[in-house]
Amino acid sequence: MSSEKLSLVLELIRAEKSIEAQKVFDEIVPLESVEYFMVKGKLEQKFQNWGKAINAFSNVVELDPGNIEAQNHLHLIQNILNFWNPEMFNP
């Protein structure tokens, strides 16, 4: 049941229906699984909730240290958060 809902959430995220995806995700009983945290991370990333996304992807890496997809998401978020625009500081 939860696995089907997690798949539906991923489909909605891919279809750019993030609000609908959030509603379906909120119905899922939290699980301590790679799949659950991966979907949570992607959903939080979609809403730019960087801290929650980092926590979710970190949970994936903790459960599955070799998970390249989660590591890539963490790297991407770190790049976004560390982005520095020199023009912003040079009037």
pLDDT for position 89: 64
The whole-angstrom separation of Cα 37 and Cα 58 is 9
This model's pTM is above 0.75: yes
Those residues of the chain that have pLDDT short of 50 are none
Q: Is 28 left (phi over 0), alpha (psi -120 to 50) or beta?
A: beta
Q: What domains lie within the chain, and their CATH numbers?
A: 2-89 (1.25.40.10)
pLDDT for position 81: 86
